Chain A
Amino acid sequence: SQQGEEDPQALSIQEGENATMNCSYKTSINNLQWYRQNSGRGLVHLILIRSNEREKHSGRLRVTLDTSKKSSSLLITASRAADTASYFCATDPYGQNFVFGPGTRLSVLP
C-alpha cells in the first residue's frame, strides 16, 4: 500500500447523511492534511492536523488523528450535493514533502 491511502475508494450517500473517509499511512509524520478536489479543478485545502493533535473541527468537518494506529478520519456531517468531490489525505513522512493518497470519490445524491 501507499504511504497515504484513503478508504473507501468510493462512497455514495444521500443528502443529509454523514460521510466518513479514512486515511492510513506507514511512517511517522509531523502533519496530515485533507484536501478536496471537485471534478476538473485543483485541490482545495480543508484541514491540517498536527501529530500532537487528536481532533480538529472546521464547520461541518471533523478530522481525527490516531498516530498509534497511523490513521486519520474525515467526517462530513449533514452532507450536501455540493460536497460531491474527491477527497485526499496528504502526509509528510519523516517531515519531508507531502505525499498524497489516491483519494476517496464521494457522491452525495439529492
Chain B
Amino acid sequence: NAGVTQTPKFQVLKTGQSMTLQCAQDMNHEYMSWYRQDPGMGLRLIHYSVGAGITDQGEVPNGYNVSRSTTEDFPLRLLSAAPSQTSVYFCASSYSFGTDTQYFGPGTRLTVL
C-alpha cells in the first residue's frame, strides 16, 4: 500500500493564483482531512470529510475549498492564493471519524509570494 500520497511536494504561487493540492489514499478510509502547519502553532484543521460526497469545515476554512467525489481522493483548492496561506499542508486519513489513528501524507510546502 502507498498509504497517503500528496502532490506536489513543493509549490510557489503568486498572490491571486489558484491551485489544487492533491491527496489520495489506498486504505479504503472513510475519514480524510486537511491540516496546515505553521511554526509554533501545531496543526490546524482546514476541512474534513467523513465519506464520499460529505465535507465539512474545520478551524481555518477560509480561502480553501474541498470536494470528495471518491473514497480515495480529497483535493484541496486554493481559490485566490494569499501570502497568509504560505504553510506546510498535510492530508490525513483514518478508518473512521474521531477515535482512530490518523495516517498522514508527507506534506506540501507552499509559498505564496
A101 to B42, CA, bound (A): 5
Binds A, one of B13-21, B61-69, B71-79, B103-111: B103-111
A31-54 CB contacts (< 8 Å) to partner B: 31, 33, 35, 40-45, 48, 50
A25 at the binding interface (Cβ < 8 Å): no
The answer, among A40, A41, A48, A102, for a CB contact under 8 Å with B42, is: A102
Where chain B touches its partner, the secondary structure class is loop
B98 to chain A minimum Cβ distance, whole angstroms, is 6
Dominant secondary structure at the A interface:
strand
* Interface residues contributed by chain B, number (CB under 8 Å): 25
Q: How far is the CA of A101 from the CA of B104 in the complex (A)?
A: 16
CB of A68 closer than 8 Å to a CB of B: no
Of the candidates B40, B43, B45, B106, the one whose C-beta lies within 8 Å of that of A88 is B43
Mask of A47-80 contacts with B, CB within 8 angstroms, 1/0? 0101000000000000000000000000000000
Are the C-beta atoms of A43 and B90 separated by less than 8 Å?
Answer: yes
* Bound-complex Cα distance A40 to B101 (A): 21
Interface residues of A, Cβ cutoff 8 Å to B: 2, 4, 30-31, 33, 35, 40-45, 48, 50, 88, 90, 92, 95-103
